[in-house]
Amino acid sequence: MTSRPDRPEEQPGPGANAMTDRFHDVGERILDALLEDSPEWASDLGDHRFTDRLSDHSADADARRAGMLTDALGALDEIDDLLLPMADRVDLEMLRNRVSADLWRLTKLRPHTWDPLAQLPVDALYGLIARETLPPGERLRALAARCRAVPDFLATARDRLAEGPGMPRVHTETAITQARGMAAMLGGEVDVLLEREPGLRFEVEAARDAAAAAVQEHIDWLASRLEQASADPRLGARDYAAQLWYTLDSELSEEALLTRAESDLLATEEEIAEVAAEYDGRSPYQGQVRDVLDRLAAETATTESTIRPMCEEALDHLYTRIRELGFATLPDRPIRVIDMPEARRGVAMAYCDPPGPLSSVSGEPTLIAIAPPPQDWPQQRRSSFYREYNGAMLRNLMVHEGVPGHALQLAHAFGYSGGTRIRSALWSGTFIEGWAVYTESVLASLGWAEGATADNQRLRLVQLKMRLRMIINAILDVRVHAYGMTEAEAMALLVDRGHQEEGEAAGKWRRAQLTSAQLSTYYAGYREVADLAADLARARPGAGRREIHDALLAHGSPSPRHLRTILGL
């Protein structure tokens, strides 16, 4: 897929070509500096120039990093955006937002001094083990190099965390879980890779053993600090406002976000009550929504052995359904459902892991990872998990994570080619999550299958339940970090008004503490993407569904406000 302009560019004025060339040069140099400073991020994007190293989180490196980011902002400020074509103006603002956010987090928020999750090299090792991004020999040599760097990396992490303001308990517990998963990942999964390159066994095993020992030392250190890990995970109103600004890349304040979300929560409660009464075939009564959702969950409950096959079956159906509906152009990139690696568990139940957009390797699959409930959960809570993620809910989940949600959108985004790599490397979570939630709503209105009344009603019910969850995510995010919402208040909101199972609600409370602003991207993004789609349809009255959606997807993953500018809306 290639991009095309959706409206004519403005005629360049005097000096425009020179300024464009200058921006392309400055932008590429800044992006290169960011990639070199974060080898793990570079690898995720498919840039493998730095696969032999890990990020340096020492105090000296922080000082150098702050200087680099400050200089980058100065260089961007010297670019006259009025002399740039529209696409480059958007790239300039996206890069400025990224650099500004990195500088603020480095110098003000400073998560590397209090969040042990920010000091784990999980992703640095995972990509080399799990993805066919490089030939096996190159992957193993890079893995050995990064494993050799792990002891010093974790020693520096302990120094920074010990000197910091204190760690929150929830972050420490999750870091221990992920570190144990990282240790397990260095075992059997590496052995499988070594079977393809036995000549590297000695080099890799020595480095792997040293890394595994260092990880165990780090686990022991974190466990020894667990009782003292009493820092508040809430950011507080001022830091949360800044985090929200940089994350959403939107003019929406936390106060406006909260007001809109709480209003939409009431409207969605009314809508799901109407759909539940229709599905139930009885007049509305108090508690009907919960009764209907409980019955649906019991009828289609999953098990440990059925959850992944049901996701695969739903994904296969969605390919056919999207073609029938003319929803959007389907990518030819393969999609594979996998069990979520243990080292990545503890935050979300599922995620979409696409190939790196800067990679030269073709044919890599997009991975959709599904996490089972934690092994240490009691049986009652594990059973509630399988009721929450019942067969109908999994269908909606595959819409969000697969097609026409994340997997489809990111495949389109990777087809975008601009004057620089900036838009390929920088993604707006607001647009990405907003698009996925938007597709849930549209597909539920169109139906799971023609004439399948019961299936269509079930999908509509679980989609409205997911809309409640999406709205509550934003309310939870704002109220926890800016207004001090308690666990009891959060659980009541999630269970009573969100109709979530206790296990799902407990996991969301945990996620609200572990993250900040990300939970708001779903709601804020959905509102903005839905408005974009409606406005674009009005502006192009003769365009069909596929044309409208392909136009929204043709420009990478900029924030919705930038996409509105690109589309001339």
Per residue in 12-68, pLDDT (tens digit) is: 555 779 999 999 999 999 999 999 999 999 999 999 999 999 999 999 999 999 999
Res. 3 pLDDT band, cuts 50 70 90: very low
- Cβ pair 560, 430 in contact under 8 A: yes
- Residue 438 in this model has a pLDDT that exceeds 60: yes
Tell me the β-bridge partners of 337. Answer: 368
- End-to-end Cα spacing for the chain: 23
Tell me the β-bridge partners of 366. Answer: 335
- The Cα 368–Cα 407 span in angstroms is 8
- Residue 132 in this model has a pLDDT that exceeds 90: no
- CB contact set of 208 (below 8 Å; sequence gap of 6+): 143, 144, 147, 186, 190
- The Cα 404–Cα 553 span in angstroms is 11
Domain spans of the chain?
16-231, 242-331+379-566
State residue 14's pLDDT score.
56
> Alpha-carbon Rg of the chain, whole angstroms?
24
Question: Is residue 446 packed enough to be buried (19+ CB in 10 Å), middle (13-18) or exposed (0-12)?
Answer: middle
3-state secondary structure 313-376: HHHHHHHHHHHHHCCCCCCCCCEEEEECCHHHCCCCCEEEECCCCCCCCCCCCEEEEECCCCCC
Question: Is residue 378 packed enough to be buried (19+ CB in 10 Å), middle (13-18) or exposed (0-12)?
Answer: exposed
User: Can you tell me the mean pLDDT for 103-110?
Assistant: 98
- Cβ pair 340, 351 in contact under 8 A: yes
State residue 6's pLDDT score.
43
- Residue 349 in this model has a pLDDT that exceeds 90: no
H or E segment at 122?
A: helix 122-130
- The Cα 487–Cα 234 span in angstroms is 12
User: Can you tell me the mean pLDDT for 362-384?
Assistant: 89
- Cβ pair 369, 344 in contact under 8 A: yes
- CA triple 506-216-178, angle to 5 deg: 25
State residue 361's pLDDT score.
81
Q: Tell me the pLDDT tens digit for each residue of 303-341.
A: 999 999 999 999 999 999 999 999 999 988 899 999 998
The one-character DSSP state at 377 is S
Q: Can you tell me which residue has the tokens 């001094």?
A: 113
State residue 7's pLDDT score.
40
- Cβ pair 378, 294 in contact under 8 A: no
Question: Is residue 463 packed enough to be buried (19+ CB in 10 Å), middle (13-18) or exposed (0-12)?
Answer: buried
Q: pTM for the complete prediction? A: 0.94
State residue 113's pLDDT score.
97
420 vs 8, higher pLDDT: 420
For residue 195, give the nearest of 137, 145, 274 by alpha carbon.
137
State residue 87's pLDDT score.
96
Tell me the β-bridge partners of 44. Answer: none
State residue 399's pLDDT score.
98
State residue 12's pLDDT score.
55
Pairing between β-strand 366-370 and β-strand 350-353 as defined by DSSP bridges: antiparallel
- CB contact set of 338 (below 8 Å; sequence gap of 6+): 367, 368, 369, 370
- Residue 8 in this model has a pLDDT that exceeds 60: no
State residue 11's pLDDT score.
52
- Cβ pair 394, 315 in contact under 8 A: no
State residue 347's pLDDT score.
77
**DSSP string for residues in 57-77:** -SHHHHHHHHHHHHHHHHHHH
SS3 230: coil
- CB contact set of 377 (below 8 Å; sequence gap of 6+): 385, 503
Pairing between β-strand 350-353 and β-strand 335-339 as defined by DSSP bridges: unpaired
What does the block give as tokens for 549?
Answer: 């959606």
The one-character DSSP state at 106 is I
What does the block give as tokens for 403?
Answer: 């097609």
Res. 342 pLDDT band, cuts 50 70 90: confident
What does the block give as tokens for 539?
Answer: 């502006």
Q: Tell me the pLDDT tens digit for each residue of 506-541.
A: 999 999 999 999 999 999 999 999 999 999 999 999
- CA triple 437-438-444, angle to 5 deg: 90
The mean pLDDT value of the chain amounts to 94
- Cβ pair 194, 140 in contact under 8 A: yes
- The Cα 282–Cα 272 span in angstroms is 14
Instruction: Select the highest-mean-pLDDT range: 17-21, 128-132, 369-373.
Output: 17-21
State residue 79's pLDDT score.
97
- Residue 5 in this model has a pLDDT that exceeds 50: no
SS3 232: coil
For residue 235, give the nearest of 517, 525, 520, 491 by alpha carbon.
517
